[in-house]
Structure 1
């Protein structure tokens, strides 16, 4: 059974959910989610002999929400993961991330390969630092209409999502899922009408898709009673992260790795990303197998396809057990 508690980590308080005993597996959620996005992974991973821990990351849910925007840099986020592993009494762990949690997982493996025994990313592939700051690149490519740039407009997305959090989350989770019309087309989903907002053209489903219940939506909505600013501050550090990671330019994740994504996910359709995914087996010699493609799956990988994700994760983690 999943248990909950709060730990002092890296100068803040992190709420965690945990289950099981054995080698530690840390599960990192994305935007706009919480520990609850991993609800289908706890029991299978625990049954396979792992200690499973999923935090509400900083700025989310019952964890602390620092006010300073700069407190959400990739170094802070990686620091939280390392601090959490140590606060749990472990020296090493496996780290798995989805959406924004994937870059945190990949960077944790990149920066601290001595701590990370294995790393898995869902939706977002491993990081390869570009030649220019990402916000500036997208500003030029989409004339400021890309959702990253919209999120960087002070207070705009905060107010849009905060006006009716449950309705916003309902539209976003459905709109980015494999069940939505036109799923996987980033131009349609991620380019924003700056006057009307990001959610303006996202459909509102009369009924939720089978993988998401009204109770799940209630749980997620409750985690945003403190607003969306902390979560949005992650995006407001994209160019700052590019500056901070200069020492790792051209560095590659060498930790044993697994990448899983859906063919109707809008993120792998980003400009240049399909080519990157195709080259991953050559770029990352420790990728344990070619990227795992889930047919008909949208962005919410482990929620939309829990059976396939659980099988892939258990197989990956079991193959690495004891290597540390």
Structure 2
């Protein structure tokens, strides 16, 4: 530096202009990435979590860094050799430079903390080892970041002495010691980058997806590797820096790669959320379009059809380019909508093309249409006398020493007329169908409705192994045999849909038709992995779709639910937009709501005085609580079904009899879109009828007339 150089003569050279432009440009790129993430999280996924806020704080730190470096270039000679600038200019440049370094340590620490918290949200409570490793990484990140912050800020005491070396008071630490600290800091950051980039790869690889989808998912999650490349190159520039005296000039490559590291880090933290943006691209929209509006796929666009201007829900799988998902051969199988098995397609595919492919190539007769008033005989009268109270209440004890209660209208039928066998789900009982029965009673068919295992008047064991599908279907077969029933149309809602599917799998000789309400076909699978399933849906849709299972399968799950039954009823039947999504599909939300004795406005049918609530409370309390009924979740999560179903021959899996599916537009857990994958995979035969109604999950309570009419139309036309 020279005292003879006039500060007023200071002008930028080309190198300085390039450095300044590069740093500003990289910051602007980061702003774009973070802004897009904020758009996705707030507008497309309707949530903004702690990790999102932390990323904004990291971006703010990056802004401060950029302002500092711009001042250091404009006013402080950064990028020039010391001999070319005045003492005063050097002091200014060195001050801004050291402050930029100090802010960098905080900005980088917070950015990595944001990435770690996102990873924790994906992992949830289901992978203890990964969760602990991530918590350790957070501790390491905070410790090393805090250490480096103070090490750089107080490398001279007072700090001003660093940029004012002519001060006679104070002292500075040995530069070699400071440099070693920087080396250690950079090495630890490099290790953290690689951990955050690759830690989820084993979990993703367990998912039953096409190899290219796995690779692309790992690539997106592993974008942090690119930030580590900048760190590696900068690390090379740091070697020998401590011995240099021309700091404002020698620091140029270090600054460039530091800004690149921050830019890539913020971009990597943002890009993992970008897949929902695919559907907003013009070419994606054009591929989703159909020249014939009546040929549009029902279930992939079920929310937007109801209200074209409505913000789409993040639970729509097409936001990730994944229009079809099913549990199959492992944990989760996902595809982009063209149908077929893994490896069939590599690109994003729209919904209309998906349906066109299914219709043309597989010759599936698709009658999936938005609900319209059925074209029924207008003279058909609902049999209001055919209530559940008019049914005979019966019991049977099976060879497993389990007692089943069931309701039978005892209508005389001939051998050619199938019996309707109705199966309820969680947490209900046979009376779930009480307002649907009058719509079916005018048909010549007998109706039998059991309380399923764990509910109502049926036995309530608490060993999940007793709920394996093979054994339960054997119970049904005994019941039907005792009633001399040889042919059935099996109808199921929720877990009852799962049961109906298992009746087909284990007793196909009885089944002439299958009707599934809400839950599409869950084909026999490999071992179920709750952690992997939730991790996949967290990444794919923004929400872990089975988050509530963590409570339902927990050791204290039944106790928590039983001790807060009022709140549990509210949790099931809350009347608030996205209520089911926000409570069922957010980790810990269900438990937190129950423990807080939460309340919410109820749907009309669920309010006191309308009958449903009072009857349900009486049934649950008199039956000893929910411990037994929660075994339905444990039996699947703990692979009791898998242990028996792995013996099933593959040729038995597809449903080849007439099949009916009723999807509910406001069901944020049991997505109607999944029936499309069933069709694509050939799991349902060509005689499939699918309908959609505007209802939440408990459609037989909320819209019993629409459910009854839809079932009547299908049953009367087929049987």
**2:620 pairs with 1:220:** no
CA distance in 2, matches of 1:134, 1:17: 36
**2:393 pairs with 1:4:** yes
**8 Å Cα contact 1:264/1:299 also seen in 2:** yes
Which position in structure 2 is the counterpart of 1:172? 571
Please give the TM-score of this superposition, normalised by the length of structure 1.
Answer: 0.85
Q: After superposition, what is the alpha-carbon deviation per residue over 1:161-196, rounded to whole angstroms, capped at 9, x for unaligned?
A: 11143x144213313xxx4321563x6423331894
Please give the TM-score of this superposition, normalised by the length of structure 2.
Answer: 0.40
**2:407 pairs with 1:17:** yes
Structure with the higher helix share, 1 or 2: 2
Shift in Å, 1:66: 2.0
**8 Å Cα contact 1:27/1:55 also seen in 2:** yes
CA distance in 2, matches of 1:208, 1:149: 25
Q: After superposition, what is the alpha-carbon deviation per residue over 1:275-296, rounded to whole angstroms, capped at 9, x for unaligned?
A: x32244442453534421112x
Which position in structure 2 is the counterpart of 1:320? 718
**8 Å Cα contact 1:16/1:53 also seen in 2:** yes
Q: Work out the number of aligned pairs and report it.
A: 310
CA distance in 1, matches of 2:486, 2:546: 43
Per mean C-alpha deviation after superposition, the further-off stretch among 125-134 and 49-58 is 125-134
**2:692 pairs with 1:293:** yes
- 1:284 and 1:319, CA in 2 relative to 1: closer, same or farther beyond 3 A? farther
Shift in Å, 1:59: 0.9
**8 Å Cα contact 1:152/1:236 also seen in 2:** yes
CA distance in 2, matches of 1:137, 1:106: 24
**8 Å Cα contact 2:501/2:514 also seen in 1:** yes
**8 Å Cα contact 1:208/1:214 also seen in 2:** no
Shift in Å, 1:211: 6.6
Unaligned runs of 5+ in 2: 1-389, 539-543
**2:659 pairs with 1:257:** yes
- 1:265 and 1:287, CA in 2 relative to 1: closer, same or farther beyond 3 A? farther
Q: How does 1:211-290 map to 2 (within 5 A)?
A: 213-225=609-621, 226-238=624-636, 239-248=639-648, 251-269=653-671, 274=673, 276-282=674-680, 283-284=682-683, 286=685, 288-290=687-689
Per mean C-alpha deviation after superposition, the further-off stretch among 6-15 and 36-45 is 6-15
CA distance in 1, matches of 2:510, 2:570: 38
Q: After superposition, what is the alpha-carbon deviation per residue over 1:254-285, rounded to whole angstroms, capped at 9, x for unaligned?
A: 2221111101112333xxx72x3224444245
Which position in structure 1 is the counterpart of 2:547? 146
**8 Å Cα contact 2:464/2:631 also seen in 1:** yes
Unaligned runs of 5+ in 1: none
Structure with the higher strand share, 1 or 2: 1
The structure whose Rg is larger is 2
CA distance in 1, matches of 2:690, 2:508: 21
Shift in Å, 1:94: 1.3
Shift in Å, 1:201: 8.3
Per mean C-alpha deviation after superposition, the further-off stretch among 222-231 and 191-200 is 191-200
Give RMSD over aligned pairs. Answer: 2.8
Higher RCO (C-alpha under 8 Å, 6+ residues apart): 1
